[in-house]
Amino acid sequence: MAQETRTAIVTGSARGIGAAVAKRLASDGYKVAVLDLDEAACADTVEAIKAAGGEALAVGANVADEDSVAAAVERIAAELGAPTVLVNNAGIIRDNMLFKMSVDDWDSVMAVHLRGAFLMSRACQKHMVDAKFGRIVNLSSTSALGNRGQANYSAAKAGMQGFTKTLAIELGKFGVTANAIAPGFIETDMTAGTAARVGVPYEDFKKAAASQIPVNRIGQPEDIAHTASFFASEGAGFVSGQVVYVAGGPKD
Ligand code: CAA
């Protein structure tokens, strides 16, 4: 629980893991900026937070665009308060084998994950440094370890880990921690989309994934939200620069 009412930004929180993280942080007591490309798409998450008694603001912004990020963070600071918790969750996939991967497939994945996390972190860090408190949580993936068809995404998600460790080193003396969560198979529109693309019914796809996972189930967005809640918490101030694989079993 935040000692005072802090403001958190969760990017890509219209749905999926981002929505679960936004709801969890709101129930932990933060004011939450629900940020996604399309402001109208944030309504469900915002309504769910408000219905549960929390405070939330829908913000439409493109994390890969410098001006859009600057305007969004300024608006959030003015309307909700200085953001001192940032969860860089916004992400896309453009899976393809290397020999068929277009430059646009490469650039768009890099732009959302890496440029997006960079721009959002840079815009928020001054509020964190001023407050002498900050929590940055970056979403990596088990794909960072390599995954067929994901040269772009795995490079971006490995990049998120290096980015996280450097932020931890640079910002630690200002009371700011940076950590990464690397989810395994999580039940979201993203994995449902992959099943559809490879032509496997989602139920079968999930069963096949679960059979490879030591805890014998696939993950839920709430599994990731729980870990984000820990990293954001006051008591996690001595945990920084870490990557936690939340994948139902060991990964390295
Ligand atoms: N040059 C020429 N030919 C090549 C080649 C090269 N460099 N590399 C491969 N090929 C050939 C292969 O030999 C094969 O030919 P044949 O069919 O004649 O054997 C062909 O190219 C490739 O065929 P595939 O059917 O294997 O590949 P595809 O193009 O249909 O799709 C794939 C491959 C993109 C990997 C697809 O199966 C896929 O999208 N899989 C899912 C990927 C995945 O796991 N994504 C995770 C999404 S969820 C997520 O990302 C969340 C998270 O964080 C974990």
Shared-domain flag, residues 118 and 167: yes
Same-domain status, 72 and 179: yes
Instruction: Evaluate whether residue 86 is within a structural domain.
Output: yes
Is the shortest distance between the CB of 190 and ligand 1 below 6 Å? yes
Ligand 1 midpoint to CA 198 (Å)? 9
The best mutation among 88, 89, 95 to test binding of ligand 1, ranked by most ligand atoms within 8 Å of the C-beta, falls on 95
Look at residue 204 in the predicted model and tell me its pLDDT. 98
Q: Is 93 in the pocket of ligand 1 (CB under 6 A)?
A: yes
Query: Is residue 1 a part of any domain in this protein?
Result: no
Task: Confirm or reject: Cβ of 142 under 6 Å from ligand 1.
Answer: yes
Q: Give dist(CA 69, CA 116) in Å, integer.
A: 9
80 and 199 in a single domain? The answer is no
Residue 167 within a domain: yes
The residue to mutate among 93, 94, 97, 251, having the most atoms of ligand 1 within 8 angstroms of its beta carbon, is: 97
Q: What is the pLDDT of residue 252?
A: 82
169 shares its domain with 207? no
pLDDT per position as a tens digit, 106-127? 999 999 999 999 999 999 999 9
Query: In terms of residue numbers, what domain contains 94?
Result: 7-184+222-246
pLDDT in tens, 26-84: 999 999 999 999 999 999 999 999 999 999 999 999 999 999 999 999 999 999 999 99
Residue of minimum CA distance from atom 13 in ligand 1 = 97
Residue 100 maps to a domain: yes
Q: Is 153 a catalytic residue?
A: yes
Q: Which residues contact 159 (CB under 8 A, 6 or more apart)?
A: 110, 113, 114
Same domain as 76, residue 31 = yes
Ligand 1 mean position, distance from CA 25 (Å)? 37
- Note the residue count of the chain: 252
Indicate if ligand 1 lies below 6 Å from the C-beta of 153. yes
Distance 93 CA to ligand 1 centre (A): 14
**Count: domains in the chain:** 2
Residue 194 lies in a domain: yes
- Residue 194 near ligand 1, beta carbon < 6 Å: yes
Name the amino acid, one letter, at 135: R
Domain identity same for 28 and 65: yes
pLDDT at 178 over 60: yes
Relative to the CA of 141, which ligand 1 atom is closest? 53
CA distance 76 to 38: 16
* Strand ranges, E, within the chain: 7-11, 31-36, 56-60, 83-88, 134-139, 176-183, 243-246
Instruction: Give the global pTM.
Output: 0.97
Q: What is the pLDDT of residue 2?
A: 43
Question: Do 121 and 199 share a domain, yes or no?
Answer: no
Q: Is residue 122 part of a domain?
A: yes
Give the residue, by CA position, lying nearest to ligand 1 atom 3: 99
Same domain, 165 and 132: yes
Q: What one-character-per-residue DSSP string does 43-101 give?
A: HHHHHHHHHTT--EEEEE--TT-HHHHHHHHHHHHHHT--EEEEEE-------B-GGG-
CA pair distance 110, 155, nearest whole angstrom: 8
Q: Is the predicted pLDDT of residue 3 greater than 70, yes or no? A: no
Cα dist. 21→115, 116, 120, 189, 215 in Å?
Answer: 21, 18, 17, 15, 22
190 and 106 share one domain: no
Q: Are residues 131 and 28 in the same domain?
A: yes
C-alpha 128/C-alpha 108 separation (Å) is: 28
Which structure tokens are listed for 37?
A: 């490309």
Mean pLDDT estimate for the chain: 97
Percent of the chain past pLDDT 90, that is, above it, reads: 98
> Of 30, 153, 202, 245, which one is the catalytic site residue?
153
| Residues 48 and 21 grouped into a single domain | yes
- Residues 30, 155, single domain; the answer is yes
Q: What is the CATH number of the domain that holds 46?
A: 3.40.50.720
Is 1 a residue whose pLDDT tops 80? no
What is the CA(1)–ligand 1 centre distance, in A?
A: 44
Classify 7 as helix, strand or coil.
strand
Instruction: Say whether pLDDT at 141 is over 60.
Output: yes
